[in-house]
């Protein structure tokens, strides 16, 4: 299925590395103009360089999604430079594995502020610039939103909230012709998230084995889904959470592997 985003404007917040940069690249490859943002100047610069290879306009901004006025500024400048937004992807997130008793109030709050409050900031400040009708909004969630996982109390709380933002906004913005969906990636290779949650070869192997499709996913698996959800082929899909996880979440809540328990001295 060939999908073109020729001259469309695509914004990926948190789009300077990993899964989100993979999504940005796939849209750039299909002809879109890109705007990406994250905290690190160097990562923004590198991402814009990568995206510029595709010959379409690519811009980037440094900013923290926890800072509402900064997010507003990024969205406004993006609109002034690239016009109305056809596709908005919100995927900035933070994660570290730790038992609840090992997380300070500030540690819990950091993840809630980045993943959940940050998602609200992005949605709230992008709305004036979204194409109406026609825009596609995608929030990058995680299986933690509906599968309780040990060492992930902060992420489970944050991502379940992200999916609720998706569903409520799909209702509120439906009459504008804006579709809002979440993608819930399973374990994805060569990402910061997997480095943190599967820190040894042994744990990575066990993770792959726990996926019904018996493999770790790729950034391309997620990017292709983002393109599909933003295309005409998905014109009646809104308010959904789409797992792209090889069936991993079907296993439901599972206790921690012996290897992870050893690693975290539980």
Please give the residue ranges that form the binding site for ligand COA (CB under 6 A).
93-96, 98, 102-104, 106-107, 110-111, 192-193, 196
51-56, long-range: CB < 8 A, 24+ apart: 51/24, 51/25, 53/28, 54/25, 54/28, 54/29, 56/7, 56/28, 56/31, 56/32
Residue nearest to ligand COA (CB): 94
Instruction: Please identify which residue in 142, 208, 244, 260 interacts with ligand NAP, judged by CB under 6 A.
Output: 142
- Compare residues 96 and 228 and give the one whose CB is closer to ligand COA: 96
Kindly state the smallest distance separating residue 40's Cβ from ligand COA, in Å: 9
Supply 160's token pair: 């379940």
Instruction: Please identify which residue in 3, 17, 46, 174 interacts with ligand NAP, judged by CB under 6 A.
Output: 17
Which partner, ligand COA, ligand NAP, none, binds residue 194 by CB below 5 to 8 Å per kind? ligand NAP
218 vs 45: CA distance, rounded Å: 24
Which partner, ligand NAP, ligand COA, none, binds residue 29 by CB below 5 to 8 Å per kind? none
Binding residues with ligand NAP: total (CB under 6 A): 27
23 vs 49: CA distance, rounded Å: 15
105 vs 89: CA distance, rounded Å: 29
30 is an interface residue for ligand NAP by CB under 6 A: no
38 is an interface residue for ligand NAP by CB under 6 A: yes
Q: Which of 244, 124, 230 is nearest to 180 (CA)?
A: 230
What's the length of the chain? Answer: 266
16 is an interface residue for ligand NAP by CB under 6 A: yes
Tell me the torsion sign for CA atoms 99, 101, 104, 108: positive
Supply 29's token pair: 């490859």
Q: Which of 244, 125, 131 is nearest to 181 (CA)?
A: 244
Residues 151-210 that bind ligand NAP (CB under 6 A): 185, 187-188, 191-194
Environment class of 26 (CB within 10 Å of its CB; exposed 0-12, middle 13-18, buried 19+): buried
Q: Which x/- pattern over 102-141 shows residues binding ligand NAP (rule: CB under 6 A)?
A: ------------x-------------------------x-
60 is an interface residue for ligand NAP by CB under 6 A: no
147 is an interface residue for ligand NAP by CB under 6 A: no
DSSP per residue, 218-260: -HHHHHHHHHHHHSGGGTT--S-EEEESTTGGGG-SBPPPHHH
- Compare residues 169 and 204 and give the one whose CB is closer to ligand NAP: 204
Q: Which x/- pattern over 234-253 shows residues binding ligand NAP (rule: CB under 6 A)?
A: --------------------
Q: Which residues contact 245 (CB under 8 A, 6 or more apart)?
A: 143, 184, 185, 186, 187, 211, 217
Which partner, ligand NAP, ligand COA, none, binds residue 51 by CB below 5 to 8 Å per kind? none
Q: Would you tell me which residues interact with ligand NAP (CB under 6 A)?
A: 14, 16-20, 38-40, 43, 64-66, 91-94, 114, 140, 142, 185, 187-188, 191-194
């Amino acid at each position: 299925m060939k999908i073109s985003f020729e001259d469309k404007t695509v914004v990926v917040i948190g789009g300077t590395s990993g899964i989100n940069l993979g999504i940005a690249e796939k849209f750039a490859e299909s002809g879109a103009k890109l705007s990406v943002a994250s905290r690190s100047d160097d990562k923004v610069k590198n991402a814009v360089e990568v995206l510029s290879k595709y010959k379409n306009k690519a811009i980037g901004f440094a900013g923290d999604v926890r800072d509402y006025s900064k997010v507003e500024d990024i969205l406004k400048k993006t609109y002034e430079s690239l016009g109305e937004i056809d596709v908005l992807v919100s995927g900035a997130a933070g994660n570290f594995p730790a038992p609840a008793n090992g997380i300070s109030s500030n540690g819990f709050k950091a993840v809630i502020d980045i993943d959940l409050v940050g998602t609200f900031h992005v949605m709230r400040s992008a709305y004036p610039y979204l194409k109406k009708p026609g825009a596609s909004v995608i929030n990058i969630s995680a299986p933690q939103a509906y599968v309780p996982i040990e060492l992930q109390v902060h992420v489970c709380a944050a991502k379940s909230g992200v999916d609720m933002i998706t569903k409520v906004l799909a209702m509120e913005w439906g009459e504008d012709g804006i579709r809002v969906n979440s993608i819930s990636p399973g374990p994805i290779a060569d990402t910061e998230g997997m480095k943190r949650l599967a820190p040894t070869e042994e744990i990575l192997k066990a993770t792959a084995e726990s996926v019904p499709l018996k493999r770790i996913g790729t950034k391309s698996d997620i990017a292709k889904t983002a393109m599909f959800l933003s295309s005409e082929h998905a014109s009646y899909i809104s308010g959904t959470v789409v797992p792209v996880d090889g069936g991993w979440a079907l296993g439901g809540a599972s206790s921690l592997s012996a290897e992870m328990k050893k690693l975290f001295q539980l």
